[in-house]
Chains A and B, each alone.
Chain A
């Protein structure tokens, strides 16, 4: 028996070099996740139960937090804002998604492109536009009837603007995954339209709807950019972290608020994962997609609704563009490009844009390679089951961690004098690592989906032909998944370009980013320059997005021969 065990172990490890390589890669992935996510979060947790001298003081910080009304109020405020945003965005997105998928409304393509725009802009942009529209000198101030835009109203509108596309994409997917035969069956049974809607349409998308609500809630409760610009005196958890850390240098309290913000984010994340799992089993592979038939009244009603939404989006973006192009609102409306020169603004000018470009490109290239390769290891290797499960878990986890929390956690972990990694602090590298981890989850899930669509036996065929696994990966897996890989890289680029929450704590004197610059320009009162920088970020994202579309088109065209089924 013992000889059998020994022979098995030596058989497994001495002969199989490929297994060693796989183990090595997997351990590197695990190390990346521990350093980029787990250790920082653990340090954050520690900080929240220490005093400023670093001594353990139990829950004293938490007691202090809950006995300070100005701090506790933020919890209720954050929930109020998140729930308001959730209700508004989900209903709006549902109407628009229904218009796109279930009607023959005109201009669908144009509408889809327009609704993408908010994702390409930093969340600071709508807030800046709102100031120009409804602020003290705003051109539509009268519409608010004396209410101030600086506060909950502004925050909710701003959030609705940039979260809307996320919700729309989820609901469009949910509504597209429908089986036309269910509708044919309902019609052949002479079911009235309203009953078909209640018994077929709604149950079919219920998981998508729930998932959408969760995503919107999480994005809203964790967002920092919008309330920072337009929140006024209305305190939220995300802005509290910033105030505690940057304003009052009270790191311990910042850690406490972070832990509190982490809680709802983690809970919605768990609920969402649970719902997602249910959803996958719903649609059979033999479903026939639903094709709407024209119905003039319905089509035009939905077109009207959808294009009203699109008009609001254009108004917001148009306002920011306009604000960046005129001399001085509202006194001198002559056009100028002066604000794009960022004269005398030091690190907040073009330099920060170049930094952002460098950072976003690095994240896009390194991130895509790392994330897709790790996803491939998780999905396609057979060995090291436990290790793979842990890597998978850590890959899913970042979605539950708000950017502010991750950023603060990085300060604590990487800025610690005894941590050899603190040479990274203030460099572009830490920004790249942070952004990569921050947006890891969606890319990981996209990769997994793409990999699951490949034939599960590619690796087995490669092994039977004695071709090393990395060659099969490079020659077959990667090329066949190229569209998904490009999607991931452009997603990473755009998010790295627009994010502000995590990196706000991590930039150094030489690595200030464009999105951070927007914030600083706004704080310093250079509103037009802030608008100009936001527009610059938006334009950069748009250009990259167009390049991506062209690349994808070319690749699909070139590979059309073998992609046809």
Chain B
């Protein structure tokens, strides 16, 4: 189900990345909110986090993205003090918090399960942390009302969590976490328990709320779309290490490793051999690529995204690949072709628009010509990095 959804919304993915590229973030300041130095965490022999270094700026929205078991949740829990690190330092707003218990750190947290207190009303849930701070009754009620309006649930004060929908519960959890005005908001897979449509809607709401309040936010997710659409910067993690830190566009357009390339978006990997600093040999054919640092004769992967492959007419451009369409997948807004390359024993996935399909009379068994633009041809090591 999740996979289907991810594939279905593929076109919007690339589109959204494009948008953010033209919107440099003015809200993100240069002052550091959180600094993590050499953070490691092991459970017995298993290394969950391996010397993580990371700086998070004030007002920033950072996503930890990675497959399950990559250490992203462990990192979040270490920041919260819920899962103390084995070694390393965490400094928040210039103050070392590495060994402080959670109650002495400055953060609000929303869990995947929301962990709303089922026996308390919505208002009591939101006021839970406020009660401790010696507010007057009026001030407390005013703050609760303000938060209820903020999440668009005014009038539901007397209800219990079980009477709300999943999305509403999620917003209450958010309000509860924000009530005490924490300097840092931690979100642990906050949207993964929701229906696909609610998820998309809440994605925008949370992002807008975060912009309005300007609260530094760290969100853990395994959903690349969520990360690409919400984050100012994405921290891609795998096997307890950070693979890449960058804006959504950097991560999508310029993945630093094969792992990032295939985890974020789709990517074709073709076995090739280096023949110059800007070209590789695919079989007997030479392809110009982005500049790379591999030595000659080294076996590498030539990587290109399905939407970057260009379908051309015969005799139009150089570096053409002859291929035959062996499978057509209908994905709503676009078509994904699987093409068998004639000159080499490889298959290539190609995303094309409906208009192109009509123009080139695409059908099963059709011979096509494909161009791999040099700007889109990345080169990666073959052992996965």
Residues of A within 8 A of B (CB): 7-8, 11-12, 15-16, 18-19, 382, 455, 457-458, 460-468, 471, 475-476, 479-480, 559, 561-565
For the complex with contacts A11-B98, A461-B176, A464-B107, 11 further pairs of A-B residues with Cβ separation under 8 Å are A15-B104, A455-B111, A463-B101, A464-B103, A464-B108, A466-B129, A467-B129, A476-B120, A559-B119, A561-B160, A564-B163
Asked if B115 lies at the interface with its beta carbon under 8 angstroms from chain A, I say yes
How far is it, in angstroms, between the C-alpha of A563 and the C-alpha of B117 when the chains are bound?
11
How far is it, in angstroms, between the C-alpha of A331 and the C-alpha of B103 when the chains are bound?
76
Closest to A460 in B: B82
How far is it, in angstroms, between the C-alpha of A565 and the C-alpha of B103 when the chains are bound?
30
- Nearest chain A CB to B240's CB is how many angstroms away? 21
Asked if B325 lies at the interface with its beta carbon under 8 angstroms from chain A, I say no
| Interface-central residue, B80, B98, B119, by most chain A CB under 10 Å | B119
A463 touches B119 (CB 8 A): no
- Nearest chain A CB to B124's CB is how many angstroms away? 9
Q: A7-B99, A466-B132 are in contact. Are A461 and B115 (CB under 8 A)?
A: yes
Q: A460-B82, A464-B80 are in contact. Are A562 and B108 (CB under 8 A)?
A: no
Count of residues in B whose CB is under 8 Å from the partner chain: 35
B120 touches A475 (CB 8 A): yes
How far is it, in angstroms, between the C-alpha of A202 and the C-alpha of B330 when the chains are bound?
49
B132 touches A467 (CB 8 A): yes
- Nearest chain B CB to A204's CB is how many angstroms away? 30
Q: Which 5 A-B pairs have the closest CB atoms?
A: A465-B129, A11-B99, A562-B160, A457-B115, A463-B102
Residues of B within 8 A of A (CB): 80-82, 98-105, 107-109, 111, 113, 115, 117-120, 128-129, 131-133, 160-163, 176-177, 179-180, 182
Chain B residues with CB below 8 A from A461, complex form: 109, 111, 115, 117, 128, 176
- Nearest chain B CB to A461's CB is how many angstroms away? 5
Secondary structure class of chain A's binding surface, majority of residues: helix
Q: A465-B180, A467-B132, A561-B160 are in contact. Are A460 and B101 (CB under 8 A)?
A: no
Chain B residues with CB below 8 A from A18, complex form: 101, 103
How far is it, in angstroms, between the C-alpha of A18 and the C-alpha of B100 when the chains are bound?
12
B109 touches A464 (CB 8 A): yes
Chain B residues with CB below 8 A from A455, complex form: 111, 113, 115
Q: A467-B129, A475-B117, A564-B162 are in contact. Are A460 and B109 (CB under 8 A)?
A: yes
How far is it, in angstroms, between the C-alpha of A247 and the C-alpha of B290 when the chains are bound?
98
- Nearest chain B CB to A248's CB is how many angstroms away? 55
B102 touches A460 (CB 8 A): yes
| Interface-central residue, A19, A382, A461, by most chain B CB under 10 Å | A461
B177 touches A464 (CB 8 A): yes
Chain A residues with CB below 8 A from B107, complex form: 464
Chain A residues with CB below 8 A from B119, complex form: 476, 479-480, 559, 562
Closest to A467 in B: B132
A465 touches B108 (CB 8 A): yes
How far is it, in angstroms, between the C-alpha of A559 and the C-alpha of B121 when the chains are bound?
11
Q: A465-B180, A466-B180 are in contact. Are A562 and B99 (CB under 8 A)?
A: no
Chain A residues with CB below 8 A from B111, complex form: 455, 457, 460-461
Instruction: Write 30 A-B pairs (CB below 8 A) sorted by A numbering.
Output: A12-B99, A15-B100, A15-B104, A455-B111, A455-B113, A457-B115, A458-B115, A458-B117, A460-B82, A460-B109, A461-B109, A464-B107, A464-B109, A464-B129, A465-B176, A465-B177, A466-B129, A466-B132, A466-B133, A467-B129, A468-B132, A476-B119, A480-B118, A480-B119, A562-B118, A562-B119, A562-B160, A562-B162, A563-B162, A564-B163
Closest to B163 in A: A561
Chain A residues with CB below 8 A from B179, complex form: 465
How far is it, in angstroms, between the C-alpha of A563 and the C-alpha of B131 when the chains are bound?
24
- Nearest chain A CB to B123's CB is how many angstroms away? 13
Chain A residues with CB below 8 A from B132, complex form: 465-468, 471
